Chain A
Amino acid sequence: MQFFIEVLIGGLLSGVMYALVALGFVLIYKASGVFNFAQGAMVFFAALSFVGFQEVLPARFGLEAGSAAVFWLSFLLAFATMVVLGIATERIVLRPLVNQPPITLFMATIGLTYVVEGLAQMTWGANVRGLELGIMDEPIAWLMDDYGIGVSKFDLFAAGVAASLVALLALLFQYTKVGRALRAVADDHQAALSIGIPLQTIWRVVWAVAGFVALVAGMIWGARNGVQFALTFTALKALPVLILGGFTSVPGAIVGGLIIGASEKLAEVYVGPLVGGGIEGWFPYMLALAFLLVRPEGLFGERHIDRV
């Protein structure tokens, strides 16, 4: 039983990490109807910028390496970089493609992926770097001692970050003027344009927010696995999460992430031995596939409204 709980909790918490990446997709999909293939590259770029600034600041400006000032300054600078990237994307990629079919925009984001990846490595180099957030990846002592369940502090921290991010975004979408405008743009570009919602501004806001989410996701993933090119593949991990939770739902991304995380770990431990192990890698995709047959819009996705 203890072992089961430990696996379950570990799975749920790693699911939160997937959810963090999925969030970025959801944001952009919701507001512009674009499946942003470049989200993984953005995660990589954001994390790389963050560590990059962390190295550059002490070296160039004599700030004390590893100090809180350097940390937050790097965070801000990395965020600013993502905002600039978002604005540039809107200007160069999205604006000329207004009113084009979604597939065109999707193709454009595939192109964007390579540009962003290249840009990241051109600016900061291709070395694998470590990222230190000051939270140890070790079991929480009292849980371990009293119940014999190992839950990583770091995972718990990541879960906390993700939860607050989601709460914040949900509030933003549901109750603010900009949030309403975002949802309006998602429903109908042209109508939004006709009532005076400036698409450009909305898109910039969305890409900036998605950049912020990418930065947070990149920092947490980077602290876990090191900041390296493999970060771009986190995007692939987010796919089954999106299919499960629904492309248009912020809470869906979280719930989807939890389900995927928990089920892949449980499957690995309990089903894996029966088929020779190693099913963690593909189990989520199987799950997503099965889900597509039953509920294509995902658990919380907006149902396609058909008037009959």
Chain B
Amino acid sequence: MSYLSLNNIEVIYDHVILVLKGVSLEVPEGSIVALLGANGAGKSTTLKSISNLLRAERGDVTKGSIEFKGRRIDRMTPAELVRRGVIQVMEGRHCFGHLSIEENLLTGAYTRRQSRAELRDSLERVYAYFPRLKTRRSSQAGYTSGGEQQMCAIGRALMARPEMILLDEPSMGLAPQIVEEIFEIVKDLNGKEKVSFLLAEQNTMVALRYADFGYILENGRVVMEGEADALRNNEDVKEFYLGLSSEGRKSFRDVKHYRRRKRWLS
């Protein structure tokens, strides 16, 4: 029995805009799976169709099925799903700007029935992973830096004690060092807390370094999949997503002439 699996799902926004055209993917328990691709490829939509945030944006899964631990989850509300252990960290962080960092974290525990002591315990656990949040615990989240907000968003999700986190574009707008820091923490959470991750990323290089497995989306379809290492060494991936080719970096002037075709399109 697979852990999280998407079978041939189709997503339509507003009854007319076809965004995902049959996406299938699997996330094995305890792994980090990367979902790669350009802007508008359908990465965020895939994550939202799993977490069911899609319907709030007038999107709908019209075909296919989504299963988590053998149960269909595509008709559940986001709240039910969070209670089952699947939570999404949205693109662009979305911290509650007027709440303090600590209050932000506490809202993450909304779905859990915990005693005060347990709640403190969960908080401390999050602070252990993100010491930076502890020093800023009483500042309004809206005034913290982008990196701190990303940490706050991940920490907030952790407060729900999830089994699986859908992480959307954690590197967005962050300095390379902070990106590394955040991915290190993701790896750490994966190793120590046994949290599985499905992460959507533009930053293919970093994502493939930390992930176990990767899928590449283009125009709402999975066009390539494989072990992270294999993908990293794939010539096509190198050329199109990592900006490298067998002859090393080349000038954009040359690219025009020797352009490789994306053979999988058409």
Contact = CB atoms under 8 A, between A and B. Distances in A.
Contacts of A183: 96, 98-99, 103
Task: Give the interface size bracket for B toward A.
Answer: 35 or more
B10 to A, nearest CB: 22
A190 B111 contact: no
A195 B81 CA distance: 10
Given A198-B79, A305-B97, A193 B53 contact: yes
Contacts of B58: 99
Interface in B204-263: none
Contacts of A186: 98
A186 B103 CA distance: 14
A181 B96 CA distance: 10
Interface string B81-95: 111000111100011
A180 B77 contact: no
A51 to B, nearest CB: 39
Given A188-B94, A305-B97, A194 B78 contact: yes
A134 interface: no
Contact of B99 (A187, A190, A195, A307): A187
Contacts of B81: 196
A180 B96 CA distance: 10
Contacts of A6: none
A195 B107 contact: yes
A192 B107 contact: yes
A307 B142 contact: yes
Contacts of A195: 82, 87, 107-108, 110-111, 156-157, 160
A184 B99 contact: yes
A47 to B, nearest CB: 33
A177 interface: yes
B50 to A, nearest CB: 12
A197 B142 CA distance: 20
A186 B153 CA distance: 17
A interface, over-half SS: helix
Contact of B98 (A187, A190, A191, A192): A187
Given A196-B83, A198-B77, A307-B142, A188 B96 contact: yes
A189 B56 contact: yes
Interface in A151-192: 177, 180-181, 183-184, 186-192
Task: Give the interface size bracket for A toward B.
Answer: 20 to 34
Contacts of A191: 90, 94-96, 153
Contacts of A305: 97-98, 140, 142-143
A137 interface: no
A187 B142 CA distance: 10
A138 interface: no
A194 B111 CA distance: 11
Contacts of B107: 180-181, 184, 192, 195, 197
Contacts of B78: 193-194, 196
A302 interface: yes
Given A197-B79, A307-B142, A180 B53 contact: no
B37 to A, nearest CB: 21
B148 to A, nearest CB: 11
A175 to B, nearest CB: 11
A187 B107 CA distance: 12
Interface string A89-120: 00000000011000000000000000000000
Query: Which 9 pairs, one residue from A and one from B, show the smallest C-beta to C-beta distance?
Result: A196-B82, A305-B142, A191-B94, A187-B96, A196-B111, A198-B79, A196-B79, A184-B107, A305-B97
Given A194-B51, A196-B78, 20 more contacts: A99-B58, A177-B110, A180-B106, A187-B97, A187-B99, A188-B95, A188-B97, A189-B56, A190-B56, A191-B90, A193-B78, A194-B87, A195-B87, A196-B79, A196-B83, A197-B107, A197-B110, A305-B142, A305-B143, A307-B142
14 contacts: A99-B56, A99-B58, A183-B103, A184-B107, A186-B98, A191-B90, A191-B94, A194-B90, A195-B111, A195-B160, A196-B87, A196-B160, A305-B97, A305-B98
